[in-house]
Amino acid sequence: LLNPIVKAVDRKLLPFLEKKFPNFKQAKSVSRSVGICISIVILATIIFTLFNMMIPELYKSIRDMIMNVPSQMNRFIRELSEMNTENSTIGNIVESVMKEATTFVQNWMRTDLLGRINDFMTVGVLNFMREIMNILIGLIVSVYVLFSKEKFSKQSKKITYAIFKPSNANMILHLTIKSNEIFGGFIIGKIIDSAIIGVLCFAGLSILNMPYAMLVSVIVGVTNVIPFFGPYIGAIPSAILILLAEPKMGIYFIIFIIALQQFDGNVLGPKILGDSTGLSAFWVVFSILIGGGLFGVPGMILGVPTFAVVYYIVGMLVNNKLEKKKLPVKTDAYDEYSYVESDGTYVHADKNIFKEKER
């Protein structure tokens, strides 16, 4: 996450220092130091601002939810009972299901949820200190890695050429660079995209004066990290939560979130992510389902870039085999009218000629 900022500072500052101070031997170190300091300051500012904005609002939203949701569900059941004047079978079934759901939610909030909160408060201080230590250690390690990343890269390259044959070593290095490009572009781009969507969601809900604005925005922003299914995972429980509080606002929220996701899918997402994975929509869904089935939520997030790397490797191997056989590598060349002769010659017949041969 810090590396793109450091690289951006190096691109601007290092040429300036080398031009202004041609005899200054430490220009690279100074540029790198400035880049790391700027990146850490930016990261700390973003984290502090988000926490300062989110924590009070998030606490208020969760408190209001615990206090109000049971009564809102009871009110919804009463209104449903008043509407169900004819005592239809479907109406009775829906009313019975809602009563059971209300009882379950109330019991969960009073027992399980409160118990979890108490457990968290009991060990919260220890866990908080442990997380602070992990953050500090991670920050220190990141500084050393950013200072010496070129040296580590050269050492890794040296070891690779020492262990493997030149052709295999070149292939490993190529795939490493490509994997870094796919994973880096996708993960960083998805985090930025989801953060922007979360902020836009909070701004929109605040303007519309909807309940649980911060809680819903956090849910929508966090789940948006999951490709394709993320918007639905975040929007459905959020819509139910708002519908219970104010049914009319719930309808407005559904319309707003659909418009927001259309903006993300057609404008914001492509601008930030571009074609970082090179996968079609089908393979994106396929990789999410496989990754989620095997590894849960982390698999849903990392499944797309992982499958993109596998897809790239398979494509490269297939193209290499085709080139050796002197066959075209473009997929469009293998339509229903193309074929390969027994001697290995590729033939692409015209549609009319193909039909005449069939006759």
CA distance 259 to 252: 11
Give the number of other Cβ atoms within 10 Å of residue 69's Cβ.
Answer: 19
CA distance 242 to 254: 10
**Amino acid found at 174:** H
Segment holding 338, helix H or strand E: strand 338-340
Give yes or no for a contact between 213 and 206, defined as CB atoms under 8 angstroms apart. yes
CA distance 278 to 173: 20
Q: Where are the alpha helices (DSSP H) in the chain?
A: 3-20, 27-83, 89-107, 114-163, 166-207, 213-223, 230-245, 247-263, 269-273, 281-324, 351-358
> What pLDDT was estimated at residue 159?
96
Is the Cα torsion angle 252, 258, 263, 264 positive or negative in sign? Answer: positive
Half-sphere exposure of residue 77, counting CA atoms within 13 Å on the CB side? 18
Closest among 173, 172, 175 to 183, alpha carbons compared: 175
> What pLDDT was estimated at residue 38?
94
CA distance 14 to 9: 8
Q: At what angle do helices 166-207 and 114-163 cross, to 10 degrees?
A: 150
Distances (CA, A) of 256 to 156, 171, 208, 287: 49, 48, 10, 29
Q: At what angle do helices 3-20 and 114-163 cross, to 10 degrees?
A: 50
**Amino acid found at 296:** G
The three-class DSSP label of residue 73 is helix
- Note the pTM of the prediction, 2 decimals: 0.70
Q: Report CA dihedral (29, 33, 39, 40) to the nearest 10 degrees.
A: 150
Distances (CA, A) of 341 to 268, 344, 353: 47, 5, 16
CA distance 96 to 103: 11
> What pLDDT was estimated at residue 357?
54
The tokens describing 338, both together, are 């193309």
pLDDT < 50 stretches in the chain: none
Query: Would you give the distance in Å from CA 141 to the centre of its chain?
Result: 25
Is the Cα torsion angle 16, 17, 23, 28 positive or negative in sign? Answer: negative
> CA angle 228-113-134, nearest 5°?
65
Is the Cα torsion angle 111, 113, 114, 118 positive or negative in sign? Answer: positive
> What pLDDT was estimated at residue 330?
87
Closest among 310, 287, 308 to 299, alpha carbons compared: 287
> What confidence tens digit (pLDDT) does each residue in 233-261 have?
888 888 877 877 777 888 899 899 999 88
